[in-house]
Amino acid sequence: MLGLQFDSCKDFGFEIHCTHCVLQFAIFYKMDLRQCSFEHCILSEADLAEADLSSIALTNCHLEKTIFSFTNLEKTNLLGSVNFTIDPDKNKLKGAKFSAAEVIRLLDKYRLDIE
């Protein structure tokens, strides 16, 4: 599914559970996604800006060029998710779970040379 605009859906009662889905260019801007889950999905170039994803499963997902800006990711399970760019200064990350190999991506904005 390409370019679905979920941000035009009403928050009340909104719930979506995706497994092995392709949701490229999906828009979840400012949405309450606390009752949702995304597992083994491709969410590349999706817009999750200002969305509340606290305490959900966002596991084993491909998140290349997905927008995380002022997104609530507190206690979110991102284990196994790859290719994300998340600025810890512009997103809530307290208690979020990341795979050890991918947590280094949280430092992308500093353009460090880590060997």
Residue whose pair of structure tokens reads 């969305």 in the numeric block = 51
Q: What is the DSSP letter of 3?
A: S
Q: What is the DSSP letter of 106?
A: G
**How many other C-beta atoms can be found within 10 angstroms of the C-beta atom of residue 50?**
17
Q: Each residue of 9-65: pLDDT tens digit?
A: 988 889 999 999 999 999 999 999 999 999 999 999 999 999 999 999 999 999 999
Q: Each residue of 54-100: pLDDT tens digit?
A: 999 999 999 999 999 999 999 999 999 999 999 999 999 999 999 99
pLDDT score recorded for residue 82:
97
Cβ(86)–Cβ(73) under 8 Å? yes
Mean pLDDT of the chain: 95
Residue 112 is encoded by which pair of tokens? 């460090």
DSSP per residue, 52-71? B-TT-EEES-B-TT-B-SS-
Q: Is the dihedral of CA 28, 30, 34, 35 positive or negative?
A: negative
Domain range 1-109, CATH architecture: 3 Solenoid (2.160)
pLDDT score recorded for residue 60:
98
* Apex 48 CA angle, 77 and 81, nearest 5: 35
Domain extent listing, the chain: 1-109
pTM: 0.92
For residue 43, the one-letter residue type is: L
Q: Summarize the confidence of residues 3-7 as an average pLDDT.
A: 93
How far is it, in rounded angstroms, from Cα 56 to Cα 109? 25
pLDDT score recorded for residue 102:
93
